Amino acid sequence: SSELTQDPAVSVALGQTVRITCQGDSLRSYYASWYQQKPGQAPVLVIYGKNNRPSGIPDRFSGSSSGNTASLTITGAQAEDEADYYCNSRDSSGNHGVFGTGTKVTVL
Amino acid sequence: QVQLQESGPGLVKPSQTLSLTCTVSGGSISSGSYYWSWIRQPAGKGLEWIGRIYTSGSTNYNPSLKSRVTISVDTSKNQFSLKLSSVTAADTAVYYCARDAVTRRENWFDPWGQGTLVTVSS
């Protein structure tokens, strides 16, 4: 399967922890990368590979993977973390990119 | 630091060909082992990977778009381009270009261009 499935929406209280999941068969072979997108803006890379953060991304963002599921965890969510989050990986052939369906994170 | 900027017509008629260019600044498009990708997003919807090109000219395309997509690179101009033929209203979207880092088990897009809205309408 070339699909990556995410929960449509999650909410988290300010300062609490939220985990966003991404499921797909190809994740057994390939790592996911994660992108934050705020309204009207281009996506921004927040996590890639096993658990790597680009420069400038706060350390409250972390990634993990187990079996066919990749996860993005925000520990101590801030108001500015409210956004859409997308996972990305490859399809089972390894030759094509595929994005997850996206998760809207609301910080209460 | 590397920056990307999309350019091209914002309005394309149905059945015609959409053409966009991504200009890379702050570094050579040929440096490092990077691919260069196009990604699109219809209004209110998710991201869709369109395809990628390596500076050697090697390409990979989304199977659902493969029959209509051509991605090319001009290293002398530090640009890569997208052509999407036989467009319909369903191709209306914000189109992004991005640098695509690819390893054996990983790939990630960083940085991204700001995106350009292309509307398909007569």
Which pLDDT does position A2 carry in this prediction? 62
Average pLDDT, integer, range A3-15: 97
- CA atoms of A63 and A52, how far apart (whole Å): 8
pLDDT in tens, A64-97: 999 999 999 999 999 999 999 999 999 988 889 9
pLDDT of residue B40 exceeding 60: yes
Q: Which chain B residues have a beta carbon less than 8 Å from that of A33?
A: 106-109
- Give the DSSP H or E segment for B37: strand B34-41
Average pLDDT value for chain A = 96
Query: Quick check: B60 contacting A, CB < 8 Å?
Result: yes
Q: Is A31 within 8 Å of B106 when comparing Cβ atoms?
A: yes
Task: For residue B122, give the nearest of B22, B27, B32, B12 by alpha carbon.
Answer: B12
pLDDT of residue A56 exceeding 80: yes
- CA atoms of B97 and B28, how far apart (whole Å): 15
Which pLDDT does position A1 carry in this prediction? 47
- CA atoms of B69 and B96, how far apart (whole Å): 15
End-to-end CA, chain B: 39
Q: Closest partner residue to B37 among A86, A97, A98, by Cβ?
A: A97
Which amino acid, residue B51? G
Average pLDDT, integer, range B92-110: 95
A29-43 core/surface letters (b: 16 or more CB in 10 A; e: else) = ebbbbbbbbeeeebb
Query: What confidence category does residue B32 fall into, taking pLDDT thresholds of 50, 70 and 90?
Result: confident
- CA atoms of B24 and B2, how far apart (whole Å): 7
Beta strands at B116-120 and A97-99: parallel, antiparallel or unpaired: unpaired
Q: Closest partner residue to A98 among B49, B100, B106, by Cβ?
A: B49
| Chain B interface disruption, residue of A3, A26, A37, A45, most B CBs within 10 A | A45
Residue A85 in tokens: 């989050």
pLDDT in tens, A11-47: 999 999 999 999 999 999 999 999 999 999 999 999 9
Q: Which chain A residues have a beta carbon less than 8 Å from that of B115?
A: 42
- CA atoms of B74 and B104, how far apart (whole Å): 26
What are the φ and ψ backbone dihedral angles of A79, each rounded to 5 degrees? -55, -35
- CA atoms of A4 and A30, how far apart (whole Å): 12
